[in-house]
Amino acid sequence: MSREKKWKPKVGEKYWYISAQGTLWNGKFINSDWDCEHRYNFGNCFRTNREAQFALSRVKKVLGDG
């Protein structure tokens, strides 16, 4: 099974992520601890709202909430 390489935004680039409350947010990547350690390393950086929405629906499905 092949895995797609995680996308990492460049510094200053907009990205989307799923918040701890399960809502979608976007921000500019500044290479901070939150950007790198907490979001990117966990696979929580998405190019578009649509990609983030798809990931959120998969999480909900795994949790039995969707």
Cross-strand pairs, 7: none
Asked whether residue 32 is assigned to any structural domain, the reply reads yes
* Predicted local distance difference test score (pLDDT) of residue 66: 64
**Count of structural domains, the chain:** 1
Contact partners, residue 24, CB within 8 Å, separation at least 6: 16, 17, 18, 49, 52, 53, 56
Q: Which domain holds residue 29?
A: 14-60
Q: What does the chain come to in residues?
A: 66
- pLDDT by residue for the chain (66 residues), tens only, comes to 446 688 999 999 999 999 999 999 999 999 898 888 899 999 999 999 999 999 999 999 998 876
Are 18 and 55 spatial neighbours (Cβ–Cβ below 8 Å)?
A: yes
In a domain, 25, yes or no: yes
